[in-house]
Chains A and B, each alone.
Chain A
């Protein structure tokens, strides 16, 4: 019962298509757990993330996020729930180019009162996280699009963590980084995740990274829909 994420008998078909994209019997994440989800493109990982983010509603099965069955929520309720409990890092282009770095980091607190409350002094929390992600204070008030790709990913990580969400979804966040910067990024991300006490669902096709995680799940293995017929 004590799970951040609990997926049971999930089945999802995109409207207008015959075949299901997702058919997952069970997937769970414990609080604070760092899960590596290996999935090549086409394995349904984007859809899975959208479902966990409550942006799409599965036809069958149950997704429980922090003990809350997502399907029982209204559309507005799902939006609020996502804002309160999830941090998200994309592959790249995570930031709003026309806001400065700090404003980008505090963005989730503008939409979620719960995140803002947990962050306390929002600006100070942003500063702490940025510092923790090894970004110099001279960058904090620059426009986001003036930063390098590596810096932008670290800002995105700081944003995903502000207000200590229960779960951070990371969708190939290191794919645009070279090996050195990738390792450094993961080091910092893990440190901050542990500080925040958040769980991490890290999706990647790069198996090399898997060793650093608590647990590894192969998406094609658990997703029967994607299995070749």
Chain B
């Protein structure tokens, strides 16, 4: 207790250097905590989006690619699967629901996805939550569009607004589906998933607006006007879709169905289980995460070494202090303990400040990350093993402080009571 108080006063006396040292350690801890929290948040964010989907089926490709493209809009869309295949999947006994997805067009750089009412009914995210409408309703007309929360927020759209879709993806598109304006029929509540950044139109509208676009650009004079389109919509049920999300009656059926679909003879398919495919993805990103972690750990080590440097450089100027303490009854080990206590206070301060800094950064950057990357981050208390790591850093801080402490110990023994100038 006495020593801790002495350590505290001694630190207070050198508060500028001490504050800087604490800040150095705090920054390194903040980096470590941030890397770990963001890593966790990214993973959770991905799981959130597919937590209610048992299987995703698309044209044969790498599962990771199919998953990234269909759910997260990362990468370019691959091949399509036929309507017959969709019917085949629907007909499977254990299939409870299917959500067809047609991907390709865009609006102001954001993805426009063709789907059906089933999407609003069956899609589940996070803890089996269903989609809620913030305003309006799901599709009522062929040329209705339902927009995600971010789309409504960023572009300021509300129910009743008319928008044009662009042919193909990308931020700037020269080709717009000018003949077919869409009306915003509904806006979704925020989900913290890529749904927030998508626009949804009826899958049949996808077919209709592409009549006359068979060559990739609009053939002048061709195409259907909206009223014709409404009449003929059933004829333009798209022959191909990009992928289908599948929900099963019993999760256990997933393995059999996956095998069947992967061996489907009519066309080559990839059927994936989102959770398992995400595991594969993490294995891919694991190396990058490891590098980030390693960097963070190195920075923490740098911070601790900085502290030891400060303690070592002060040893000389504190020689007199030590002699005074010794002459007044302090034992040599108490002098050494004083330095260890000081290091302990510095590291504890650094840890506390670092965690606060990290949480502050997450809190401050959260909205921006959600806006730009659609990444929902939140302040979550470190898990037990992360507490253990932080505790370990504290212990390591005390251990490295043993170097100056042992030096001080030896020196006090040699100096005795002599006060040297």
Chain B proximity of A172: nearest CB distance (Å): 11
Complex Cα spacing A79 to B332, Å:
8
Residues of A within 8 A of B324 (CB): 90, 93-96
Which interface residue of B9, B12, B328 has the most chain A CB atoms within 10 A?
A: B328
Known: A50-B416, A53-B417. A108 touches B9 (CB 8 A): no
- A97-B327 in contact given A46-B418, A88-B417, A111-B2 (Cβ < 8 Å): no
A141 contacts the other chain (CB 8 A): no
Q: How far, in angstroms, from A75 to B320 measured CA to CA in the complex?
A: 21
A110 within 8 A of B: yes
Cβ < 8 Å to A, chain B residues 296-341: 320-321, 324-332, 334
Instruction: Tell me if A53 and B416 are in contact (CB < 8 A).
Output: yes
Interface size on B (CB < 8 Å)?
A: 22
| Contact between B327 and A88, CB atoms less than 8 A apart | yes
CB neighbours (8 Å) of A110 from chain B are 2, 6, 329
Interface string of A45-75 (1 = CB under 8 A from B): 0100110010110000000000000000001
The answer to whether A49 touches B320 (Cβ under 8 A) is no
A21: chain B residues within 8 A (beta carbon): none
A88 to B2: give the CA distance in the assembly, Å. Answer: 20
Determine chain A's interface SS by DSSP, over half rule.
Answer: helix
Q: How large is the interface on A (under 10, 10 to 19, 20 to 34, 35 or more residues)?
A: 20 to 34
A53 CA / B417 CA spacing, docked (Å): 8
| A34 interfacial contact with B, CB 8 Å | no
* Residues A96 and B417 in contact, CB atoms below 8 Å apart: no
B416 touches A56 (CB 8 A): yes
User: Residue A107 at the B interface, CB < 8 A?
Assistant: yes
Residue pair A115, B329 in contact (C-beta under 8 Å): yes
- Chain A residues whose CB sits within 8 angstroms of the CB of B416 once the complex forms: 50, 53, 55-56
Closest to A145 in B: B13
CA distance A97 to B330 in the complex (A): 17
Chain A positions near chain B (C-beta within 8 angstroms): 46, 49-50, 53, 55-56, 75-76, 79-80, 82-84, 88, 90-91, 93-99, 103, 107-108, 110-112, 115, 159
A-B contact pairs, 22 of them (CB 8 A): A49-B417, A53-B327, A53-B417, A55-B326, A55-B417, A76-B331, A79-B329, A79-B330, A79-B332, A83-B329, A84-B329, A88-B417, A93-B324, A93-B419, A96-B321, A98-B13, A99-B6, A108-B328, A110-B329, A111-B329, A111-B334, A112-B329
